[in-house]
Structure 1
């Protein structure tokens, strides 16, 4: 007589056997064995790094200040009263007042929008130029690479401050009044800020086009456009992203430097560089109008550099 226990444990039909098989394919063991992509590994690694989380938090706060400054400062940044000139930080004005009696805290918060906007737009413009020239030079090589590389060398030979002053002075009318405003500063920073990224993109594209998968795609008859944009570009983009992240902080510092020198952004536009420039005349009497905007510039630059280092470590398998 057959064993009743074994009979009841066996599947009663083909449908039950199929359901049991399908259930087995969704087991936790097989789900854990599924390989992750490089991007998934990078994200998983980044969210565990304090070197990434701390600067990311700082940058998110700065972006929120730039987008919604009224949420962080209720005072009018353009309201200035000489009667409260150079008053020290207090409960009414956390950063005190400058020489004109303006609230330093409110002006610092509202200046975040200008500095972050200029930094982001100039970095995007520089990265786009670098991507085009670097990818074309690295992919085609030969005389095209020679022409683009010599052009990069020529532009890099121009001193940054001299080149920026020349470009910004071109944004003046016949009476000597500055025209263009922020757009003049954006143009100067974009024109002078793409060369290093282009060199990185060029060298990475040259290495990537020699990879086995690119050679295999070429042997299968892939077109030049497909090779460049589907195979070389996605795999050569990581160093550019890392360098652009670091360069964003450097460009914000450059904007503050130009405004500090008086050739960048001008009043009534508020930026950290403008505030630093205005505080120099009374620096011996009071330091707080200088320290707070300068501190914001330093923290912002440091945050973007730390973020770039963390992204580089996560995206480069050799550094793990």
Structure 2
């Protein structure tokens, strides 16, 4: 009788509870601790697009932070005897005459290296400001809804209707001296609307999630819910937009400098060098190609990084 009552089900738990060993156990531990950001980082490390763009961005950041490591030439020192002297030579890596000289006898390579700092500082500064301000406006509008949503959304629409570059030109004309802070503030003053809209939509979707409802039921305060539950789960699309927009702000600064509304004084900018080079593009096209190429490569790197992050954070695109 005991043998007849014994069923296979009594033997299965031994197989089920048997602890895996070796790589299986290690994989199980990793799988149990996975999160959205952890999965995204593992996915990013396998993407050539992310590796290439990150390497380019790190190079640009290194050039911006330590230009003296890449050239010892003075970018503002002009020698008219070197007027358009020299052409690009591959054998002169990281030297003053690597890319030749411009119409005022200044080293094109040195100006390209030192011009990275202002452009990158403006790009990162504007991105940080618009992400903080636009993210806050969008989070408050999306979470509270009602009157606050209507008010903040209408204010956002007003600023969104102002042409970005045209508005920045008007604001910059009010300042006699234009430095990094003035240009950064002018661009951030008009560039926060897209971040606000994206954050608002993400918060509206997130605030109805079960974990947010549970936090409210347990008596959590508004501040705790916003910054501990809503924000971490709604910030992913904002990071993607901000990464791509950073390249746009670098282009905006270069455009303003090209139009003569950028940095004043002896400040160096890729846009100003591109503007100077257009006068001699037929006879000396290399004076335009190098600053324009550096600008395009930098913007492309941030766009590629944004695309890689977007695909890593969106499970549907994996």
| TM-score of the aligned structures, taking structure 2 as reference length | 0.88
Secondary structure at 2:273's aligned position in 1?
Answer: helix
Distance in structure 2 (CA, Å) of the matches to 1:104 and 1:294? 12
* Contact 1:267 1:274 (8 Å CA) reproduced: no
> What CA distance in whole angstroms lies between the structure 2 residues aligned with 1:201 and 1:232?
11
Q: RMSD of aligned C-alpha atoms?
A: 1.5
Q: 2:117 aligns with which of 113, 116, 130?
A: 113
Instruction: Give the match's secondary structure for 2:309.
Output: helix
2:126 aligned to which of 119, 122, 129: 122
C-alpha distance after superposition, 1:103-160 (max 9, x if no partner): 0001000101111111001110111111110100010011101111111111111112
Q: Give 1:218-237 correspondences, 5 Å limit.
A: 218-237=216-235
Q: Which residue of 1 aligns with 2:79?
A: 81
Correspondence 1:42-121 to 2 at 5 A: 42-87=40-85, 88-90=87-89, 91=92, 93-121=97-125
How many angstroms apart in 1 are the aligned matches of 2:71 and 2:43?
36
CA displacement, residues 298-317 of structure 1 (integer Å, 9 cap, x when unaligned)? 11111100100101111122
Task: Give the corresponding residue for 1:309.
Answer: 307
In structure 2, the partner of 1:157 is 161
- Structure 1 equivalent of residue 27 of structure 2: 32
* Equivalence for 2:11: none
1:299 and 1:49 map into 2 onto residues whose CA distance is: 19
Residues 89, 97 of structure 1: 8 Å contact kept: no
Structure 2 CA distance, aligned partners of 1:275 and 1:144?
46
Q: Provide the C-alpha distance between the structure 1 equivalents of 2:20 and 2:163, rounded to a whole number of angstroms.
A: 63
* Shift, 1:227, TM fit: 1.2
Runs of at least 4 residues off by over 4 Å = 24-28
Instruction: Describe how 1:260-279 pairs up with structure 2 within 5 A.
Output: 260-279=258-277
CA distance in 2, matches of 1:243, 1:206: 18
Counterpart Cα distance in 2 of 1:140 and 1:27: 50
- 5+ long unaligned stretches in structure 2: 1-18
TM-score between both structures, scaled by the size of structure 1: 0.88
Which residue pairs with 1:10 in the alignment? none
